[in-house]
């Protein structure tokens, strides 16, 4: 049986002898979240930072590390997510909590691999690959992406090369080195930035967001220039729109983490 993200916090205690594979298969077709076991969630200051308190008791991450946050604002943002839950603890309604868990358990012990992954995205960054038509899409890409590339040149000293179509173009070593040098050393910031990078497909958009050059909404729209152009031509697909809305919630949560630091 597969462990869920929250099994360490909320063990099921199921009796193996009572396991029914047919019933389990049916149950697997729909989400099953732990029931809410606390009345109130708050943020309280402790010796290691701001803690998530459930009925006054400090919580831990799935990795059994202290759920300690660097700022009061971030502690309160997490506490609001927990306090606003209904009868079950649904992780899909807790994007800030999920990001915090990943930073504490996966990024803070060693931020190096996360930085390497962001740099890898910069090597084939979304905004460097341009369409060769139609003219409307070409114009939209230029109007939205060219100012970000200009900012990277002026603010970071990173000059990128453009490619038309999907043909890979190797970026100058100096540009990649400039991006690496610009990455935040704080595991909280780089962890949140990594979320934005993977959601947008662009290290440059994520870095512009982290530096305050773009708002979260601007970065999100910039990442979807191609998709929005197709929608303007052919209309929206309901299923695709739902997936995009879910990713956008993650993006806004990553931006909130950055803003709370």
What per-residue confidence (pLDDT) applies to 120? 98
Task: Considering the chain, tell me which residue range(s) the CATH 1.10.3580.10 domain(s) occupy.
Answer: 112-260
Which CATH number does the domain 112-260 belong to among 1.10.760.10, 1.10.3580.10, 3.40.50.12780, 1.10.357.10?
1.10.3580.10
- Euclidean distance between CA atoms 36 and 13, whole angstroms: 16
More confident residue, 14 or 147: 147
- CA dist 90 → 2, 4, 34, 36, 254 (Å): 17, 12, 8, 9, 18
pLDDT of residue 115 exceeding 90: yes
pLDDT of residue 34 exceeding 60: yes
pLDDT of residue 174 exceeding 80: yes
3-state SS, residue 24: helix
- Give me the CATH code for the 1-94 domain, please: 3.30.2180.10
pLDDT of residue 18 exceeding 90: no
- Euclidean distance between CA atoms 251 and 184, whole angstroms: 18
What per-residue confidence (pLDDT) applies to 12? 42
Task: Considering the chain, tell me which residue range(s) the CATH 3.30.2180.10 domain(s) occupy.
Answer: 1-94
More confident residue, 18 or 30: 30
Tokens of 66: 């202290």
pLDDT tens digit sequence for 190-222: 999 999 999 999 999 999 999 999 999 999 999
What per-residue confidence (pLDDT) applies to 32? 82
What per-residue confidence (pLDDT) applies to 6? 47
Tokens of 146: 């060219």
pLDDT of residue 1 exceeding 90: no
Name the phi and psi angles at 39, rounded to 5: -95, -35
Tokens of 78: 């997490």
What per-residue confidence (pLDDT) applies to 166? 84
Give this prediction's pTM. Answer: 0.87
């Amino acid at each position: 049986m597969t462990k869920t993200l929250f099994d360490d916090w909320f063990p099921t205690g199921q009796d193996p002898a009572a396991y029914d594979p047919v019933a389990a298969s049916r149950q697997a077709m729909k989400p099953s979240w732990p029931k809410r076991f606390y009345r109130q969630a708050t943020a309280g200051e402790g010796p290691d930072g701001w803690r998530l308190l459930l009925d006054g008791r400090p919580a831990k991450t799935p990795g059994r590390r202290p759920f300690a946050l660097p700022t009061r604002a971030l502690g309160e943002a997490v506490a609001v997510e927990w306090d606003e839950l209904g009868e079950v603890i649904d992780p899909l309604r807790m994007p800030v909590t999920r990001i915090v868990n990943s930073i504490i358990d996966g990024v803070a012990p060693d931020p190096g691999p996360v930085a390497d992954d962001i740099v890898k995205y910069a090597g084939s960054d979304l905004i460097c690959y341009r369409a060769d038509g139609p003219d409307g899409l070409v114009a939209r890409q230029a109007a939205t992406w060219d100012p970000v590339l200009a900012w990277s040149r002026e603010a970071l000293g990173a000059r990128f090369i453009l490619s038309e179509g999907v043909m890979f173009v190797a970026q100058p070593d100096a540009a990649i080195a400039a991006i690496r040098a610009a990455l935040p050393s704080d595991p909280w910031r780089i962890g949140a930035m990594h979320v934005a990078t993977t959601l947008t497909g662009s290290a440059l958009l994520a870095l512009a967001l982290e530096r305050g050059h773009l708002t979260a909404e601007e970065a999100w729209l910039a990442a979807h220039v191609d998709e929005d152009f197709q929608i303007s031509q052919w209309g929206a697909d309901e299923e695709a729109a739902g997936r995009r809305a879910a990713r956008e919630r993650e993006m806004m949560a990553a931006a909130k983490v950055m803003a709370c630091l």
